[in-house]
A and B are shown apart, each in its own frame.
Chain A
Amino acid sequence: MSDPRTRQAFTLWTQAQPAVSAFVFALVGDRRLRDEILQDVAVAVLESIASYDASRPFLPWALGIARNEVANARRRRGRFPAPLSEAAEASLAAAMAEVEEGELDRLAFLDDCLQRVGGRPREICDLRYRGGLALDRIAQVLGMQPNTVSKTLQRVREQLRACIEERMAAQAGRSRP
């Protein structure tokens, strides 16, 4: 760890990791697979850091590596759902690099906003994320229609977005002279 280049790679990777994680998650749709691929991306980033041009932004470079690792995982594992075309993947990678910084600012409020989620929506979130259940299984457990479960999760996320925007606006109001 005394090598400055390695330290720099660690730091840059840590900063880029939330966006890379979200990108991989959107492409593979599976938590475990996302984490396996992220480990491969991290190793590839460390191994190829010498080829990174420090005068250019790090995140697009890391997202390029992530796309390769997702493609490698597809080849190794055979087919897994690929909802986006290659052109859409490239467009999403570019978009991710553009929005990353602002979104990290917003997501700093996520924990607070999650605490506001209660009742049945919270129960569904817990089954989905902590329990790792598929939506149709959640519907079965709770005696609901799968579509209702899906819509409830969407509403929760929209509420979270609204809550985050509210917090951002409040903070901007406080910091205004």
Chain B
Amino acid sequence: MNPHQDKPLDETAWNELSHAVIDRVAGEDDARRVSDEIAANPVRAREFARLAMLHDAVDRALTSRVEARGAAQRLRVIPVLRRAALVAAVIALAFGAAWLAIGTTREASASDVLARLIEVARSGDRTYFVRALDAGSRSAIERRNGRPAPSIDGAVLSMRLPASYVLARLDGEGGEVLTGSDGTSAWIVPARGPVRVSRDPRRFSGALPGSKSGVAFVDPHGDFKELAASYELRLLPPSAGMPLARIVATRRSDARGGPRRVEIAYEPETSLIRVMRLENLPQARGGPRSVEFELVDDAPLDARFFSHESHHGADRAVIEED
């Protein structure tokens, strides 16, 4: 006999039945009671929404390693079905992407692998989707002049190594803020107001996570040797269900600055980097503690893409700073 049948639903009974409905173990009558409550009572609807978010988040947290296999396989179809893969990449990113725990093996060739990754990274244009891994916490939301600063979470970063990049972020009001460099000058195109241009190619690059620490693949002006010099490198090979290999860099105890740990997932056959994660970034200048970059496009970009003129109208005011 159902203990909740025909009784008014108190808080305990409501919680039990809501969990049971989401778990798909509620009987038809109980499911109907929950459904009727949600339809008629906005307070209960909000409670159910909160529970549903908790269920989904727990599922994601505990299954992310399993999901990573499918996500990594989906990412491999980029050349065939680019649009679908872009979507899969976003989903894979949101699901925790390609961080599958596999057996570790230490190999002497970590620096050789790194050198190859660098060579391939410099061979063409790459576009990454950026996610702040602590984006949900209040501490990750920075404010500037009382307003939320443009967020790195959800940003899109296009790079042509060694020194050209465009970083697209949204400001607190949903306007797009672009910063970039063509290798010889740097610029910022805010959502409103004049465009600013500097002859210093490092100007405006502070928004790039890791940009101050010379971390490979993120600092367009940095040196890839930094990883090998300041970090212990470890290779993790692909496994049966996980086609991506990984290189894990852990900061040496005597090294200063930079993220404490860097993890790069790449295709072993092509050395193409798919995902990179920077963990425990220095917090002195604010910003997220950990960020993840996921490759969403490797198509060549227009030759003028890295110049500011490509990103605003001809009538926009441009201020040259120096």
User: Measured between alpha carbons, how far is A31 from B59 in the docked complex, in Å?
Assistant: 8
**Chain B residues closer than 8 Å to A85, beta-carbon distance:** 35-36, 39
Given known A43-B87, A95-B45, contact A18–B168 (CB-CB < 8 A): no
Check if A43 sits within 8 Å of B42, measured CB to CB. no
Q: Which of B17-25, B205-213, B265-273 contacts A (4 or more CB under 8 A)?
A: B17-25
- Chain B residues 62 to 88 lying within 8 A of chain A, measured CB to CB, are 62-63, 65-67, 70, 83-84, 86-88
User: Measured between alpha carbons, how far is A98 from B53 in the docked complex, in Å?
Assistant: 12
Check if B66 sits within 8 Å of A130, measured CB to CB. yes
Chain B interface main SS type:
helix
Write out, one digit per residue, whether chain A residues 153-172 have a CB within 8 A of any chain B CB (1) or not (0). 11001101100000000010
Q: Of the candidates B23, B90, B136, B174, which one forms a contact with A150 in the assembled complex, judged by CB atoms under 8 Å apart? A: B23
Asked if B204 is at the interface of the complex by the 8 Å CB criterion, the answer is no
Asked if B115 is at the interface of the complex by the 8 Å CB criterion, the answer is no
Closest approach, in angstroms, between the C-beta of B271 and any C-beta of chain A? 22
Q: Of the candidates A25, A83, A87, A161, which one forms a contact with B34 in the assembled complex, judged by CB atoms under 8 Å apart? A: A83
User: Measured between alpha carbons, how far is A88 from B41 in the docked complex, in Å?
Assistant: 10
User: Measured between alpha carbons, how far is A132 from B155 in the docked complex, in Å?
Assistant: 33
Write out, one digit per residue, whether chain B residues 131-163 have a CB within 8 A of any chain A CB (1) or not (0). 100111110000000000000011110100000
Chain B residue, CB-CB nearest to A135: B25
Chain A residue, CB-CB nearest to B22: A26
**Chain B residues closer than 8 Å to A34, beta-carbon distance:** 56
Q: Which of B194-202, B221-229, B256-264, B295-303 contacts A (4 or more CB under 8 A)?
A: B295-303
Check if B56 sits within 8 Å of A98, measured CB to CB. no
**Chain B residues closer than 8 Å to A54, beta-carbon distance:** 174
Asked if B170 is at the interface of the complex by the 8 Å CB criterion, the answer is yes
Closest approach, in angstroms, between the C-beta of A38 and any C-beta of chain B? 6
- Chain A residues 126 to 177 lying within 8 A of chain B, measured CB to CB, are 126, 129-130, 132, 135, 146, 150, 153-154, 157-158, 160-161, 171, 175
Closest approach, in angstroms, between the C-beta of A128 and any C-beta of chain B? 8
Check if B62 sits within 8 Å of A31, measured CB to CB. no
Check if A14 sits within 8 Å of B131, measured CB to CB. yes
Classify chain A: how many residues form its interface, as a range: 35 or more
Check if A26 sits within 8 Å of B52, measured CB to CB. yes
Asked if B94 is at the interface of the complex by the 8 Å CB criterion, the answer is yes
**Chain A residues closer than 8 Å to B302, beta-carbon distance:** 2
**Chain A residues closer than 8 Å to B24, beta-carbon distance:** 29, 81, 83
**Chain B residues closer than 8 Å to A175, beta-carbon distance:** 138
Closest approach, in angstroms, between the C-beta of A153 and any C-beta of chain B? 7
**Chain A residues closer than 8 Å to B42, beta-carbon distance:** 91, 94-95
A1-B156, A17-B94 known; 14 new pairs, CB 8 Å cut-off, are A1-B86, A8-B174, A10-B86, A11-B155, A39-B88, A43-B84, A83-B24, A87-B39, A92-B52, A94-B45, A95-B48, A96-B49, A99-B50, A135-B25
Ordered by A's residue number, 27 sampled pairs between the chains whose C-beta atoms are within 8 Å are: A1-B86, A10-B154, A11-B154, A13-B90, A14-B94, A14-B154, A26-B48, A83-B24, A84-B31, A84-B38, A87-B39, A91-B40, A92-B45, A92-B52, A95-B46, A99-B49, A107-B136, A108-B134, A109-B137, A111-B61, A130-B63, A146-B25, A150-B20, A153-B19, A154-B16, A157-B51, A161-B54
The 8 closest A-B pairs by CB, nearest first: A108-B136, A129-B62, A11-B154, A95-B45, A22-B56, A87-B39, A26-B52, A108-B137
